[in-house]
Amino acid sequence: ENLTNQIAAGEVIERPASVVKELVENSLDAGATRIRVDFIDAGLKQIVVQDNGTGIARDQVDLAFTRHATSKINNEHDLFKVSTLGFRGEALASISAVSHVEIVTATENAIGIKAEFSGGSKKGQEDAASQKGTKITVRDLFFNTPARLKYLRSPRTEIMKIVDIINRLSLGYPQVSFTLSNTGKVLLRTTGNGNLKQTIANVYGRHIAEKMESFEAKDSDFKITGLMSKPELTRSTRNFISILLNGRYIKNFQLNNAIMDGYGSKLTARHYPIVVIAIHVDPLLVDVNVHPTKQEVRLSKEKELSRLITGAISDALLDKTE
Ligand code: ADP
Ligand code: MG
């Protein structure tokens, strides 16, 4: 049973950044408006994620750490209209299968609970005074699956992957205040005042935020809003293009191309813009149940959406240059 858990964990939890992603997504699903993340030794020694979300009821904590137990999907039908970032009920089970986890959580006006899980088993629990919200501490990641450690890159690269995840989630949730720190040293802090331009300033710097223009468009299925750099302001990688579908950061080659097409010949070869695009769509049109990391999605009407994006961006460029 523990072995099965470790194998399954490998699909979801590849590296410290996967832990950060899953825990922060849970915080967002729990309606948190303030999320703090701190890590030590590129996340291998310790990762702490603390939120002010709903918390988990005392008698639901064990269930939360059980594989395939989720509070977010009730039946098969729900799987066709997923509106939360999580839905598989795998993350906490997977993380606790390959590390030592301590959780302190409390719901509104209730006595909190502190529980410990390690290598897939529960180690104990006690009452804990706590404000509404959840704090999860993950220690010694992959302590029992040393082979995993061999696949990790340099600490520097692993840290960059953590920063990248928090950057994208911040851009997807400008109304949430994020603080990311490395052993207490703050790497990123967003105000969480709901203003995307402000969040871009927090993430990429004020000089960049000031040079970005807004764009938007909608049709009967999609509503898109975003900020885009002028063609003069480019980067040498596509990494500064963030596509957020109903708040979920996704990787999508077609939509990336749709953005590039919007710029057309205004971009020189191997130059990429800085773009943050939020797409809102009826969850019925999205299949998020395609890949363990949930970053790939299957989208109905992808062509229509592509045209909408290309049009919105090229229109915005016309407005500014004429
Ligand atoms: P999923 O997110 O797919 O439901 P997880 O394993 O990530 O699965 O989490 C299991 C359950 O634990 C969630 O469905 C949710 O009910 C609860 N949970 C996890 N993290 C939090 C949190 N930070 N705040 C409130 N509830 C949480
Ligand atoms: Mg989850």
Pick from 12, 54, 58, 70 the residue to mutate for probing ligand 1's pocket: most ligand atoms within 8 Å of its CB. Answer: 70
Distance CA 321, CA 213 (A): 12
Give the Å distance between the CA of 28 and the centre of ligand 1.
Answer: 10
The ligand with the least distance to the CA atom of 71 is: 1
Burial bucket for residue 230 (CB in 10 Å: 0-12, 13-18, 19+):
middle
CB-defined site of ligand 1, < 6 Å: 22, 26-27, 29-30, 51, 53-56, 64, 70-72, 86-93, 134
Residues of the chain with pLDDT under 50: none
pLDDT one-digit tens code per residue, 180-195: 999 999 999 999 999 9
Smallest CA-to-CA distance from 13 within 38, 36, 47 is with: 47
Around Cβ 66, how many Cβ atoms within 10 Å?
12
pLDDT score of 172: 93
Burial bucket for residue 186 (CB in 10 Å: 0-12, 13-18, 19+):
exposed
**Where along the chain do its domains lie?**
2-189, 211-321
Which residue intervals of the chain are DSSP H helices?
A: 2-12, 16-29, 61-64, 91-97, 146-150, 155-172, 196-204, 206-209, 253-263, 302-321
Q: What is the number of the ligand 1 atom nearest to the C-alpha of 95? A: 6
Widest Cα–Cα separation across the chain? 67
Give the Å distance between the CA of 63 and the centre of ligand 2.
Answer: 13
pLDDT score of 1: 59
DSSP string, 182-226: ETTEEEEE---SS-HHHHHHHHH-HHHHTTEEEEEEE-SSEEEEE
In terms of CATH architecture, what is 211-321? 2-Layer Sandwich (3.30)
CATH superfamily, with its number, for domain 2-189: Histidine kinase-like ATPase, C-terminal domain (3.30.565.10)
Give the Å distance between the CA of 309 and the centre of ligand 2.
Answer: 29
Smallest CA-to-CA distance from 251 within 260, 263, 238 is with: 238
The ligand with the least distance to the CA atom of 101 is: 1
Q: Are strands 133-139 and 46-51 parallel, antiparallel or unpaired?
A: antiparallel
Q: What is the ipTM for the molecules in this complex?
A: 0.99
Q: What is the number of the ligand 1 atom nearest to the C-alpha of 136? A: 23
Give the Å distance between the CA of 114 and the centre of ligand 2.
Answer: 19
Give the Å distance between the CA of 218 and the centre of ligand 2.
Answer: 30
**Residue 49: helix, strand or coil by DSSP?**
strand
Instruction: List the shell of residues around ion ligand 2, using CB closer than 5 Å.
Output: 26, 86, 91
Q: Are 141 and 44 in contact (CB under 8 A)?
A: yes
